[in-house]
Structure 1
């Protein structure tokens, strides 16, 4: 899952991003509305976490623009104003959810995961393939009863491949969905991650390489 976090409180934004990355999410961070619009015009996000009260172009304006652009990205608004009128107003802008500061980080994660499951196409909270079970909510991966000790990036890559349901996923798409904007697109990070993931998954292989195309879940 790829998430955009936009909040002018830099410590807050960076702390949220660090926590979400530990949950195997790819996270881009910006500190104003203009930065959010710039990234939304370049990358496809599953969820955007927007602070309503950013100076300059506000989270409300970004949300309104996203609604007008008919983006598939789900929107979670953050604000210090927790009144019913504020929540109704925020949802009326086209936001999918609303969270009042201060909040418990576990609740933020749960809400983002729920919004991710409502993205297009909808994603099941538990993905399975021939004895392999990936539980996104619990952040666990098991194969034939054996718990897999996956890194956040390995988990993210496996999630993207399982979500594709057998469709070939290019290295470029994996890079877009599982890494953030600071990753060197010419690096071998995808190839190396798939290699270590295969080793942990064991036999029989469940990730097939499609020459000059990418990877998919299924027999070679």
Structure 2
């Protein structure tokens, strides 16, 4: 999943980016409201973590822009503003959640997971089909109880395909949602990742779980759930 972190305090921004990337998310960052708005218009983010006290454009105006443009990203406000009136204004303005600083990163991480599950109409922390099982909290994959060793990026790709089970997902869409914006859109890195994931899954199952749909991308079919 792809996250935009909007935070003007440099140390805080770097810490958030490091923590979210370590948790397996693709992360972009902005330190002011105008850049945040431009990034949101250009990229398809799954979640925006938004500070309110920003130079130039205030965070609430960034939120208003996202909602006025009907952009699909969930917005989690992370701010030092702790008055109930600020929380109400943020939530009424279209924020999906509101956390105050100081905060515990583990709690932030948990709220991010909940919001992303809500984005994909996923109520449980686990994704499964046949013998394949993904624990989206622990970022662990297994097949019929046997662990599958995946890198964070490989897990993110498999997770995204399973969240969109039954729908072909293009390489461009995968690149948009699981890689940072600095990734080369003309590279074949998604193809390489898919090949590696298939090889690892083949050690546990003879089924070709990730299928190619010519001209459309990759799909994990719901009807293949029984293995």
What is the TM-score when the length of structure 1 is the normalising length? Answer: 0.93
Hey, what's the Cα distance between the residues in 2 that align with 1:211 and 1:81? 50
Q: How many residues align?
A: 218
Equivalent residue runs for 1:71-220 within 5 Å: 71-119=71-119, 121-124=120-123, 125-202=125-202, 203-204=205-206, 205-218=208-221
Hey, what's the Cα distance between the residues in 2 that align with 1:123 and 1:180? 24
Hey, what's the Cα distance between the residues in 1 that align with 2:148 and 2:126? 15
| 1:87-131 Cα deviation digits (max 9, x unpaired) | 222222221111111111111111111111222x41343211110
Hey, what's the Cα distance between the residues in 1 that align with 2:87 and 2:216? 45
Secondary structure of the corresponding residue to residue 37 of structure 1: helix
| 1:41-67 Cα deviation digits (max 9, x unpaired) | 011111111100011101111011122
Hey, what's the Cα distance between the residues in 2 that align with 1:211 and 1:66? 34
Give the match for residue 20 of structure 1: 20
Secondary structure of the corresponding residue to residue 68 of structure 2: helix
Hey, what's the Cα distance between the residues in 1 that align with 2:176 and 2:81? 34
Give the match for residue 70 of structure 1: 70
Hey, what's the Cα distance between the residues in 2 that align with 1:85 and 1:185? 43
Is contact 2:26-2:179 (8 Å) kept? yes
Hey, what's the Cα distance between the residues in 1 that align with 2:16 and 2:34? 20
Hey, what's the Cα distance between the residues in 2 that align with 1:217 and 1:162? 7
Give the match for residue 51 of structure 1: 51
Tell me the CA shift for residue 83 of structure 1.
2.4
Q: CA-atom RMSD, angstroms?
A: 1.5
Hey, what's the Cα distance between the residues in 2 that align with 1:213 and 1:63? 33
Tell me the CA shift for residue 179 of structure 1.
0.5
Hey, what's the Cα distance between the residues in 2 that align with 1:111 and 1:86? 19
**Aligned structure 1 segments of 4 or more residues deviating by more than 4 angstroms:** none
Tell me the CA shift for residue 153 of structure 1.
0.6
Give the match for residue 11 of structure 1: 11
Hey, what's the Cα distance between the residues in 2 that align with 1:166 and 1:92? 34
Tell me the CA shift for residue 183 of structure 1.
0.2
Is contact 2:46-2:177 (8 Å) kept? no
* Structure 2: 5+ residue stretches without partners: none
